[in-house]
Structure 1
């Protein structure tokens, strides 16, 4: 814990620094949410397929960051971490000319059934 997932789309795959983003987000998660550094894990999921309203998707890229934490953090802490994730995306994503990057972030409590194992 925390479990972090970053979903993102074309056409920013060449201008996104996932390793730098993950490190910075892990550091922020430790600072803001009192997570352990070794517990921070991030999975990146890329897709060529996207849709934005009725528009041609070529001028759009989508990022969504989901951070799952064990219960107990305040709403203010979760909101601060979500905003920090968005701020960091602004540092680690360079949009191509004419491309709008739609970014969102969510911090949620992991379900009570959450378990982990290092196999």
Structure 2
């Protein structure tokens, strides 16, 4: 844990290296020291269809990162996490209309994980 899921406007594939984006977010989470580095899982998905405000998909762009974690972190630790990931994304901010990051706590009683 955590799971880092990055959604981004598909046209950004032409402007930025998505692999570098994923690694930057991943390293940002690890840099906090809040998690076992081997437990951090990161991935990205392109959003083909989207609307931003009153614009169409051809005139806007976004990166949204959701970091899902188990309960128990303080608000300060969650803020440290978003700031650390955000610092790692600073190289992408100029090319993107909007970058947002959220930390969400998983519902531990209903979370299932099986490892082999």
**Match for 2:102 among 77, 85, 106?**
106
Which residue of 2 is the match for residue 8 of structure 1?
A: 8
**Unmatched tracts of structure 1, length 5 or more:** none
Which residue of 1 is the match for residue 114 of structure 2?
A: 117
Structure 1 contact 4–67 (Cα < 8 Å) conserved: yes
Which residue of 2 is the match for residue 85 of structure 1?
A: 85
- Are residue 65 (structure 1) and residue 51 (structure 2) matched? no
Aligned residues: 115
TM-aligned CA deviation for residue 106 of structure 1: 0.4
Equivalence map 1:8-27=2 (5 Å): 8-27=8-27
Structure 1 contact 5–44 (Cα < 8 Å) conserved: yes
What is the TM-score of this pair, normalised by structure 1?
0.80
TM-aligned CA deviation for residue 85 of structure 1: 2.3
CA distance in 1, matches of 2:56, 2:69: 36
Cα RMSD for the two superposed structures:
2.1
What is the TM-score of this pair, normalised by structure 2?
0.82
TM-aligned CA deviation for residue 63 of structure 1: 1.1
Q: Which of structure 1's runs of 4+ aligned residues deviate more than 2 A?
A: 14-28, 83-90
CA distance in 2, matches of 1:56, 1:87: 29
